[in-house]
Amino acid sequence: MLTRVEDLLQEVEAFNSSNPDEIEQFRIKLLGKKGDIKAIMAEFRNVPVEQKKEFGQKINILRNAAQDKINELKLAAAETSSTNHGLDLTMSGQPYELGARHPLSVVRNEIISIFNRIGFSVSEGPEIEDDWHNFTALNFPEEHPARDMQDTFFIDPEIALRTHTSSVQVRVMENSTPPIRTISPGRVFRNEAISARAHCIFHQVEGLYIDKNVSFADLKQTLLYFAKEMFGDKTKIRLRPSYFPFTEPSAEVDVSCQICNGKGCNVCKHTGFLEIMGCGMVDPNVLESCGIDSSIYSGFAFGMGIERIAMLKYQVNDLRHFFENDLRFLKQFKTAY
């Protein structure tokens, strides 16, 4: 039996090949389930007791030598294949697929880039917020519907998942001295039914500008610049009076429909415009709550949903597509940077 082990050791030492198939056949012959080494180990019980220790050591030496030799030959064969052919013939025939950014990430980055070009910095804050930063400092009365359980995910009476990134603006105002010019992109949460046009999780970008002598005209020109940069030079905007607790006066912002070019279609309900955001002049109460003298400083704020911008930009008709991770949908954005 020991003679058989010695013969196999010599066979291992003598074997040499650069052919992957031959190397694999040699591995199966020695190390396979029905290979020579398994067969020898099956005879171990017939070895005399005084020879079992020596026999066991020889088998371990044989098995390790065979494995080392096969690994060495496989590595050499792969290097030779790469050198000779300029490619690795052992690799899969399927090409590697390059990934792409999620469409919401693409739009988010584009929005940030547009506002960066006119001096807005980026601010971020926690997604779990206290009542002060999420509601009270933003001039929300205690009886306001947004405090109701149907709109907000409360963790306890004083802590909730933020319903808007305006809470980040409060933190910026509390810790900064005007002039302030910042945008706050991030994920927000509302206790709403999921549908083609609404979701309990979505993304916002909110902007804030505070300085001396800031006017509504500054707000309008800033938003017109954004709309033209995002949707094209021919884009028009219109502002409609609205109400938000933290701005006064307040307005809704519409852009000319990108599908019908403002002529009227089913998407824009034949108005030629689509709503994209809310805006307004920062309420003096908000400034005072954050330690800013409203008799010296004024400012404007705006907020938009990234999903809404992405739906307009890519003509997506169902908000849920952005959250389902369906590769058939996401692969359409492979060329997006």
Q: What is the pLDDT of residue 28?
A: 87
Distance CA 132, CA 263 (A): 45
Are 213 and 315 in the same domain? yes
Distance CA 127, CA 142 (A): 21
Q: What is the pLDDT of residue 92?
A: 65
Q: What is the pLDDT of residue 82?
A: 55
Q: Sign (positive/negative) of CA torsion 318, 323, 329, 333?
A: positive
Residue listed under structure tokens 């309420």: 283
Distance CA 4, CA 272 (A): 90
Q: What is the pLDDT of residue 27?
A: 84
How would DSSP label each residue in 86-153?
A: SS-TTS-SSPPPP----HHHHHHHHHHHHHHTTT-EE----SEEEHHHHTGGGT--TT-GGGSTTT--
Q: What is the pLDDT of residue 162?
A: 93
Are 28 and 67 in the same domain? yes
Distance CA 68, CA 54 (A): 21
Q: What is the pLDDT of residue 159?
A: 93
- How many CB atoms lie under 10 A from the CB of residue 240? 12
**Domain extent for 226:** 103-333
Distance CA 223, CA 238 (A): 10
Distance CA 322, CA 178 (A): 37
Q: Which residues does 150 contact at the CB level (< 8 Å), separation at least 6? A: 191
Are 64 and 201 in the same domain? no
Are 137 and 33 in the same domain? no
Q: Model's pTM, two decimal places?
A: 0.68
Q: What is the pLDDT of residue 31?
A: 83
Please tell me the total number of residues recorded for the chain in this structure. Answer: 337
Does some domain include residue 94? no
Q: Which of 211, 145, 144, 136 shows the shortest CA–CA distance to 166?
A: 136
Q: What is the pLDDT of residue 335?
A: 61
Distance CA 62, CA 52 (A): 15
Are 55 and 117 in the same domain? no
Q: Residue 181 has which token pair?
A: 């010019």
Domain holding 135: CATH number? 3.30.930.10
The distance from CA 161 to its chain's CA centroid, rounded to whole angstroms, is 19
Q: What is the pLDDT of residue 267?
A: 66
Q: What is the pLDDT of residue 313?
A: 86
Distance CA 26, CA 116 (A): 64
61 vs 12, 165, 292, CA distance in Å? 11, 67, 80
Does some domain include residue 270? yes
Residues of the chain with pLDDT under 70: 1, 44, 80-95, 149-150, 266-267, 335-337
Are 208 and 329 in the same domain? yes
Give the chain's domain count. Answer: 2
Does some domain include residue 278? yes
Does some domain include residue 155? yes
